[in-house]
Amino acid sequence: MADMRAAAVATSMVLASCLFCFPQPGFTQQPDSSVSAEALKKLSIEQLMNLQVTSVSKRPERLSQTASAIQVITQEDIRRAGASSLAEALRLASNLQVAQVDSRQWAISARGFNSTTANKLLVLIDGRTVYTPLFSGVFWDVQEVPLADIDRIEVISGPGATLWGSNAVNGVINVITKGVKDTQGLLLTGGGGNEQRGFGTVRYGAALGSTVRARLYGRGFGRDASALPSGAESADDWHLWQGGFRMDWDAATANQVTLQGDLYDGRIGQPSPAADIAVSGGNVMAKWSHTISEKSSLAAQLYYDRTHRNIPGTFGEDLDTYDVDLQHATRLGARHDLVWGLGYRLINDRVVNSAALAFLPADVARQWFTGFIQDEIALVPNRLQLALGSKIEHNDYVGFEIQPSGRVVPRGQSPLADRPGAVCSHLTDLCPGGRSGLPCRRRAGLRAGLPAAAGIPCPCCGHVLQPLSRAPQRGAAPSARNRHARHRQRAGRRVLRRGIGNRLSSDRSLAPARRVHGAARPHLAEPREHGSVPGRFGVPHARAAVLPAVVGRSAG
């Protein structure tokens, strides 16, 4: 393990040195996004709300006219936040609860009941579903995407099963990476520190002809073990190496083909037994899109994904996933936008059980046959729209399932307030000389309306802020990512609440029956011309009842 740590540190130092040794013109390649960082900074609120998103209706539409509460994390947001992993970048979404458990484990959920085995949130990376049927959740420690390659992350609050199927109960996270044409040239990043002992990424994109472009990347990191309350290390240090490629082919004006894949291998320490956790895997995916006419398009996607995880003394798993999807979008007349599709998925899940834990049956092969249809009807053109749809699915667990949906979407008027200052009306005193111009309170006896924890510096002036006692959470500056958390203990059960550090304690209760209801509304404020404040106002209510524990395989 010491050799791997030393190798990671050495790699990061070499990469960091290259950043200063290479001539500057080598890095002035084509811009990294169709909307550059500088251009994104200059967008008004109205322009930001007109950003194109695809996760809500599986077709491009303006952010302000979606039929769901959706938040978009842009590349500029990720860059300014200084996030070091995909899971950490999701802290920028105010409609998610994100907690880091230890050096490598994360708990991410929407609408509460957060844990490392949260299973009611669908996660997609370029359309590829990343989850394990062990608990229908996500192993976040192996979901590593080069952050510089991310174009945007679309986070939907609320059900998405009509279009996306199982797991999309409380929301959808769709990670969308940049096209190859936006990542031409050489990119080197690297560094190191006391927690991240070393990290580095190498990426190169080039044109292979007039219609074909490709990019390759490799990255690795070594993270130090987390500290116990006694000050000793917990032996959960983490090392991962990953590489991948993407090729885009504009075969003709009406056809686009994408081929991409990834491979990774890693080792994770654990206190007992002494043997490390081994993780590895890879995937390959092909996409084809065809424009039939200005009103009609066809798309197909095929991927294979394999993951391996061996936790000595607990269990091991080998998972193979085969998936194919076909989608057709068309406009019927002046009032109907129709999207429909078919899908098939096959998984082979093999588990090596131990005396401590057993998944029964150990070998599982499951199939999913799915179909969906959604029609967006313009009841009053440019004013009122009705979205009706349903998902029809057949799986080996329960047979046929129907998941209908209906939503009414008002159009025309911007969902933002005409006076952005009203969004932060409970704040007083502007920071003099603050570059962002965000409002906050400076005097020690007052509180700030930003969701910053006690001891977190204000992103405007550096003054240490304290949370408002009763004010709702209204907005988040890019650097104020840490949410405040405190824990309460009741009847032997620890419940995560918002508190300093946003760490997650273990859940010691038996399997609970849970119910959550409430309402939420996203918004975006622009208190000054140099900054914007995304946020979300929600009123959730949760209830849990303890039931006898049940051990079995998850439906997915």
Residues of 32-53 as b/e, b for ≥16 C-beta within 10 angstroms? Answer: bbebeeeebeebebeebbebeb
pTM: 0.68
Q: Annotate 264-332 with DSSP letters as a single string.
A: EEEEE--SSSSSPEEEEEEEEEEEEEEEEETTEEEEEEEEEEEEEEEETTTEEEEEEEEEEEEEEEEEE
What's the CATH number for 34-177? 2.170.130.10
pLDDT for 526 beyond 50: no
How do residues 93-103 score in pLDDT, each as one tens digit? Answer: 988 999 998 88
pLDDT band, residue 461 (cuts 50/70/90)? very low
Segment 27-48 mean pLDDT: 45
How do residues 237-253 score in pLDDT, each as one tens digit? Answer: 899 999 999 999 987 77
The single residue listed with the structure tokens 């994904």 is 305
Helices (H) and strands (E) in the chain, counts: 6, 25
How do residues 137-192 score in pLDDT, each as one tens digit? Answer: 899 999 999 999 999 998 888 777 666 766 778 888 999 999 999 999 999 999 98
- Looking at residue 519, what is its pLDDT? 60
A 10 A CB-CB count for 295 gives 12
pLDDT for 41 beyond 60: no
Q: DSSP letter at 231?
A: S
Region of poorest pLDDT, from 347-356, 514-523, 528-537, 545-554: 545-554
Give percent above pLDDT 70 in the chain: 60
Tell which residue, 84, 45, 36, 199, has the closest CA to residue 481: 84
Where exactly are the structural domains of the chain? 34-177, 189-408, 420-546
Q: DSSP letter at 17?
A: H
What's the CATH number for 189-408? 2.40.170.20
Distance CA 479, CA 456 (A): 10
Burial of residue 308 (number of CB atoms within 10 Å: 0-12, 13-18, 19+): middle
Helix, strand or coil, per DSSP, at residue 69: strand
Distance CA 166, CA 120 (A): 9
- Looking at residue 12, what is its pLDDT? 46
Segment 439-455 mean pLDDT: 37
Distance CA 508, CA 503 (A): 16
Distance CA 151, CA 192 (A): 25
How do residues 216-225 score in pLDDT, each as one tens digit? Answer: 999 999 998 8
Region of poorest pLDDT, from 36-40, 53-57, 64-68: 36-40
Cβ atoms of residues 161 and 171 within 8 Å: no
pLDDT for 484 beyond 90: no
- Looking at residue 29, what is its pLDDT? 39
Query: Omega of the bond prior to 540 within 30 degrees of 0, cis?
Result: no
- Looking at residue 196, what is its pLDDT? 84
How do residues 257-287 score in pLDDT, each as one tens digit? Answer: 999 999 999 999 888 777 899 999 999 999 9
pLDDT for 420 beyond 70: no
Distance CA 553, CA 315 (A): 14
Q: Which residues pair with 255 in a beta bridge?
A: 252, 290
| Separation of first and last alpha carbons in the chain | 35
Burial of residue 294 (number of CB atoms within 10 Å: 0-12, 13-18, 19+): exposed
